[in-house]
Chains A and B, each alone.
Chain A
């Protein structure tokens, strides 16, 4: 059995991994609740934003913060553009079709990223957030403020979007629209403007997440793009609806996976944690539901 100091140390690294999952998981659920689209391109958009930031810092003499702003803006614009072009065409379709279409965007971005930032000659890149240099001590290990920011950002987004969707007029409009576009439109909600706001906001969030994840995980297009798969586990446990449950689930996944690291017999299988936990959660949650009819999860 590992000692308490071991458990404690991995608790800290687990929270930082959980923060990574939480950040992108919460971002995806927010967009899903606001537009009815599960954006599987969340990771790819963020990755491209981070690569653009890297390009600006290393080859155009930008400082970190201006580059960061560009990357956030890129996330917002590309997501908005996608939402404006393909949103209306797919508005009447099943959530499954909408989600599948974002896989199309994912593939396009993945191809473009590998063309523009190739890996030939063993080239590799890194993006460091300035807050990496400020640390504080927890037990025997130090924690950077980037970790804290990632975790806090996840929490803040959870709280603010929760309040926003519930209490503001725009938020109510978004929720209504995700439920039924037609009826919402007939009620006099400016559907296009509300959708645009939702897409843009979530796109910016993916830009922020992209830069943070590039620092916390790796600046690599494939890694960041497919981090979404592990993240989806948390959103599934939250049943694609609950932002707080998604947040907590992400932390639990991070903690479990981290605590398994020192146990050599299962260590290499710990990457299965998100999938196993999601499968168990869905089995338990769905044990009475044999079939589900009609639209899902909105």
Chain B
């Protein structure tokens, strides 16, 4: 999914152009249809078909759950990737936005008999409204302030949700009954009650969200974001309503994260405040940076790191602490040497390794061992 849209996205999170990148002006993100681009979508479709059809028979239920989480969290990392990679805004509160989406969806699923897709949409829209409302003051700031204020908001929302609690089939506005001894599970879509079916359902929803984001990136908002990321003052001078487009990005990220929250509700089936911690927002940012915030495939890598690796290590009885350490090292590595994440860095590293190996065999001068 990382086609033409990636080629122009070579800035760092600073909003300053990376030295090696040509500075494209607004409008340069317009998609170009070339024969090369016709092959990749075909490959992607084939891959997705394989995932949807074959995964449930290849993997055990434990790993199907892990893949379901990868699909769901790839939507969350996609949203955060839009903010970080496209607009240059760092949000440290996406975990809290996800929790809001899950809350809204759980409430609707307990209170109403609405079809699941409607609930998905409603959770997205309500989370978008809440997210933008809460984020509005933050948007007036930039850089470090924005990141810190979103971290504050994540802290506040975590406290609020641990007091309001997640709906568990109770009555009243909050739908929470603290005295319940038989908590009912949250409803799943009628077409996806089993785990493999819910996996397919989540993948399909994720594909739709990726397409929605792709549509935005290729369109007018994408061009405005690219301009804002390059230089906010230049964008302003060029007549771009920067606050409006930043708000738009925030709304889009909140919408897809809200939809992901609804999938979380359906997938988890029981929600409680222990499941959502403030530090999740930090971990989310870490994996998005590692995966690469500048490409859409980076979102999938990020979700894979976050959820599949966790399931794998857990299955091997390796302490989850190693994952925390890995994420920490990853953040430092990405920020200092590979600002575009593993997706971009790994092929380069492999190529470098290849050159090194070739160099060993041909006994020429040491080839490309040093850092870029």
Once the chains bind, are A283 and B137 in contact (CB under 8 Å)? Answer: yes
Once the chains bind, are B13 and A96 in contact (CB under 8 Å)? Answer: yes
Once the chains bind, are A100 and B285 in contact (CB under 8 Å)? Answer: yes
| Chain A residues whose C-beta falls within 8 Å of the C-beta of B283 in the assembled complex | 107
Closest residue of chain A to B13 (Cβ to Cβ) is A97
Once the chains bind, are B233 and A293 in contact (CB under 8 Å)? Answer: yes
Give Cα A282–Cα B232 distance, bound, in whole angstroms. 21
A110 to chain B, nearest CB (A): 6
Once the chains bind, are B140 and A286 in contact (CB under 8 Å)? Answer: yes
Q: Which of B141, B147, B149, B279 contacts A100 (CB 8 A)?
A: B147
Interface 1/0 per residue, A34-62 and B, CB below 8 Å: 00001000000000000000000000000
Once the chains bind, are B335 and A101 in contact (CB under 8 Å)? Answer: yes
Once the chains bind, are A103 and B141 in contact (CB under 8 Å)? Answer: no
| Chain A residues whose C-beta falls within 8 Å of the C-beta of B140 in the assembled complex | 286, 289-291
Interface 1/0 per residue, A282-296 and B, CB below 8 Å: 110010011111111
Number of A-B contacts (CB under 8 A): 168
A164 to chain B, nearest CB (A): 24
Give Cα A294–Cα B220 distance, bound, in whole angstroms. 25
Q: Which of B144, B159, B319 contacts A269 (CB 8 A)?
A: B159
A231 to chain B, nearest CB (A): 11
Once the chains bind, are B329 and A229 in contact (CB under 8 Å)? Answer: no
Given A89-B336, A107-B331: A269 touches B151 (CB 8 Å cut-off): no
Closest residue of chain B to A232 (Cβ to Cβ) is B148
Once the chains bind, are A94 and B16 in contact (CB under 8 Å)? Answer: yes
Once the chains bind, are A274 and B332 in contact (CB under 8 Å)? Answer: no
Once the chains bind, are A94 and B143 in contact (CB under 8 Å)? Answer: yes
Interface 1/0 per residue, A214-242 and B, CB below 8 Å: 00000000100010011011001000100
A224 to chain B, nearest CB (A): 13
| Chain A residues whose C-beta falls within 8 Å of the C-beta of B337 in the assembled complex | 89
Once the chains bind, are B282 and A282 in contact (CB under 8 Å)? Answer: no
Instruction: Judge whether A279 is part of the interface by a CB distance below 8 angstroms.
Output: yes
Instruction: Judge whether A93 is part of the interface by a CB distance below 8 angstroms.
Output: yes
Give Cα A38–Cα B147 distance, bound, in whole angstroms. 12
Once the chains bind, are A103 and B325 in contact (CB under 8 Å)? Answer: no
Closest residue of chain A to B323 (Cβ to Cβ) is A111
| Chain B residues whose C-beta falls within 8 Å of the C-beta of A290 in the assembled complex | 140, 243
Once the chains bind, are B159 and A271 in contact (CB under 8 Å)? Answer: yes
8 examples of A-B residue contacts, CB within 8 angstroms: A86-B332, A96-B144, A100-B147, A104-B328, A107-B325, A107-B328, A286-B140, A292-B143
Q: What residues make up the interface of A, taking CB atoms closer than 8 Å to B?
A: 38, 86, 89-90, 93-97, 99-101, 103-112, 114-115, 222, 226, 229-230, 232-233, 236, 240, 268-269, 271-272, 274-276, 278-279, 282-283, 286, 289-297
